[in-house]
Amino acid sequence: MKRTIGVVGAGVFLAAGTAWAAAPAYVPVQGFLANADGSPVDGDTVIAASVFTTDTGGTAIWSETQTVTVDQGAFTMYLGDVAALDLSIFKDNEFLYLQFTVGTDSPMS
């Protein structure tokens, strides 16, 4: 089943603590997930997220797969929650491209 995804916003969140060097890095992403007919997805959904340095082709420099709770289309996922996210990718690359794959659907950028 073909789905669409809209990403509302993303930012960088560093867990608070006294040892900043040991703090895990997360990028919160909020979005809206709908079926091909526009109806919102509801329930636990497997979403894979990947980061690329090119807009088409290439190899992902980071990726992870999560089971995300989707409530009437709305969801929040924290990139870096499953696979460690090295924040240096943001300073070492001028452009980054985020790609989502929902279940067995085709990837979406």
Span 18-45, pLDDT tens digits: 445 556 788 999 999 999 999 999 999 9
User: Nearest 10 degrees: CA dihedral of 15, 65, 107, 99?
Assistant: 20
The contacts of residue 65 (CB under 8 Å, 6+ apart) are: 46, 47, 48, 49, 82
- pLDDT-derived band at 15 (thresholds 50, 70, 90) equals very low
Q: Could you tell me which residues are beta bridge partners of residue 79?
A: 27
- Block residue for tokens 């499953």: 82
Residue 52 amino acid letter: F
Does the pTM of the predicted model rise above 0.85? no
Phi, psi angles (nearest 5°) of residue 105: -65, 170
Three-state secondary-structure class, residue 102: strand
H or E stretch at 91: helix 88-92
Question: What digits encode the pLDDT tens for the residues 47-100?
Answer: 999 999 999 889 999 999 999 999 999 999 999 999 999 888 988 999 999 999
Residue 10: count of CB within 10 angstroms of its CB: 13
